[in-house]
Chain A
Amino acid sequence: TQLLEQSPQFLSIQEGENLTVYCNSSSVFSSLQWYRQEPGEGPVLLVTVVTGGEVKKLKRLTFQFGDARKDSSLHITAAQPGDTGLYLCAALKGTSYGKLTFGQGTILTVHP
C-alpha cells in the first residue's frame, strides 16, 4: 500500500487544456512538496506547502494543501508542451530531516 496515492498515473492532453493532479493519503504530513522530473534528470522542486488550506501559485501552476494536511493537488492552466514531464508529490512525516516519501508520479504529455 502506497503511503501517498497519486492520480492519474498518466495524462495525455492537448496544448491549452487545463489539468489537475491529485496526491492523497490517510496520514497527516508536516509538509508536502511537488517535484517535476524530465527524462535523464533528477527531480526539481516546484513548491513546498506547509499550512493546511495553503494555496501557492507558480505562473500557470496552482498548488493546494488540504485543510487536514493529508492531501494536495496541482492544477495547471493552459498547459504547454514544455510542461511535459513526470510530476511527483512527496511528503515529510515525522522526521527532522529531509526524508521524503514519494508518490508514484504522474506522467504528463502535452501535445502541440
Chain B
Amino acid sequence: GAGVSQSPSNKVTEKGKDVELRCDPISGHTALYWYRQSLGQGLEFLIYFQGNSAPDKSGLPSDRFSAERTGGSVSTLTIQRTQQEDSAVYLCASSGSPDNTGELFFGEGSRLTVL
C-alpha cells in the first residue's frame, strides 16, 4: 500500500507476556518514529530511527521496551513482560525528510490491551 502499515491492528494479551508490534513505513522514507497514545494522555514520543540507527530512544518508558529497524524499512517495537499500564494505541509514523521539515505520515496504530 501507499501508506504506513501497522500490524496487528488489535492485540489483547495477558499481563507478563511479550508482544511485538510491526511497522512498515512508506517506501523510501528514511525517518521512522514510534509514538504511544493513551486515553487522555495525547501522543507521547517513544523512539526515532534514521535508517537503521536510533539516535533518540529517550521516550521509551522502561527497559521492557525495545525497538529495531532492519533494511532501513520495517520496524518492530517489542514490549517484554507487559503490564496493564502498557495498554495504549501504538502509532508509527514515517517521513521522507531526515530533518524536521518533512511531514510525518502516521499509520492507523496497533491497539494493545493488557489484561
Residues in chain A near residue B95, CB distance under 8 A: 98
Among A44, A92, A96, point to the contact of B106 (Cβ < 8 A): A44
Q: Do residues B100 and A42 form an inter-chain contact, with CB atoms below 8 A?
A: no
Nearest-CB distance from A102 to chain B (Å)? 4
Digitize B60-100: 1 where CB-to-A-CB distance is under 8 Å, 0 elsewhere. 00000000000000000000000000000001010101111
Q: Does A40 contact B (CB under 8 A)?
A: yes
Q: Which of A57-112 contact B (CB under 8 A)?
A: 88, 90, 92, 95-105
Digitize A15-47: 1 where CB-to-B-CB distance is under 8 Å, 0 elsewhere. 000000000000000110000000011111100
Q: Do residues B42 and A42 form an inter-chain contact, with CB atoms below 8 A?
A: no
Q: Do residues B31 and A97 form an inter-chain contact, with CB atoms below 8 A?
A: yes
Residues in chain A near residue B33, CB distance under 8 A: 98-99
Given contacts A97-B98, A98-B95, contact A42 B50 (CB under 8 A): no
In the bound assembly, the distance between CA atoms of A98 and B30 in angstroms comes to 12
Q: Do residues A45 and B44 form an inter-chain contact, with CB atoms below 8 A?
A: no
24 example contacts (A-B, Cβ-Cβ < 8 A) are as follows A2-B42, A30-B100, A42-B4, A42-B93, A42-B105, A42-B107, A45-B104, A48-B103, A92-B100, A95-B100, A96-B100, A97-B31, A97-B56, A97-B99, A98-B31, A98-B104, A99-B33, A100-B35, A100-B104, A101-B45, A102-B35, A102-B44, A104-B41, A104-B42
Binding site for A on B (CB under 8 A): 4, 31, 33, 35, 40-45, 48, 50, 55-56, 91, 93, 95, 97-100, 102-109
